[in-house]
Amino acid sequence: MPLPAAIGLEIARMIHDSLFEKAESALESLRWRELTTDFIDVLDAILVGGAAVGGFGERFTRIAAAHAIHNGLSALAETAVHLHGTKVAYGIIVQKALEGNEIELRRLIVKFRSLGLPTSLGELGVDANDLAKIRTVVETTLKPGESIELLPFPVDERRLTEAIAAVETGNREISLFRGRFELSLDSSSL
């Protein structure tokens, strides 16, 4: 990997860590219309950091699957009401499933929920059981020239469909686990 790309990846890691640490506080600042250090840091991470990552990293640091999945979701009329970043957020968790990074996938699902970002197709207005809709998303995502081709491994329709299913299943498992955990906390406090 060229040195500028390695620099871009390091900046991306710093942005990731900053967002994980400060995003909730920054959103709270926004709700209260307060200008805080956390809000400024998150804004800088998104605007300045994002530009630096793209500038240094070029094709090596693009969120390859996430933006292609955004494009696939955008093929469905029901997702038109959602912002670009909202659909890219869902694409990021699908990319983690494609990479087989289950720990980061679960971590992101929990974090995205706390930030009010979508972690399931249903939250984007898409019925996850509608195979025709899933097929449309998958086929559009995999069109020749889409950024998903930049991933360091091949992705076909089966693999992408399985990754989407893993995200949907992961959401249910996390919800069930949290429900049991919360239930055990409630019953132990009696």
pLDDT in tens, 24-57: 898 899 889 999 999 999 888 878 877 777 777 6
* 181: pLDDT strictly greater than 50: no
Q: Which two tokens stand for residue 49?
A: 């950091």
Cα-trace Rg, the chain: 18
The whole-number average pLDDT for the span 18-27 is 88
Q: pLDDT tens-digit profile of 125-174?
A: 999 999 999 999 999 999 998 888 888 889 999 999 999 999 998 776 66
Its pTM surpasses 0.85: no
Q: What's the mean per-residue pLDDT of the chain?
A: 83
Dihedral of the CA atoms 59, 86, 21, 29 (nearest 10)? 130
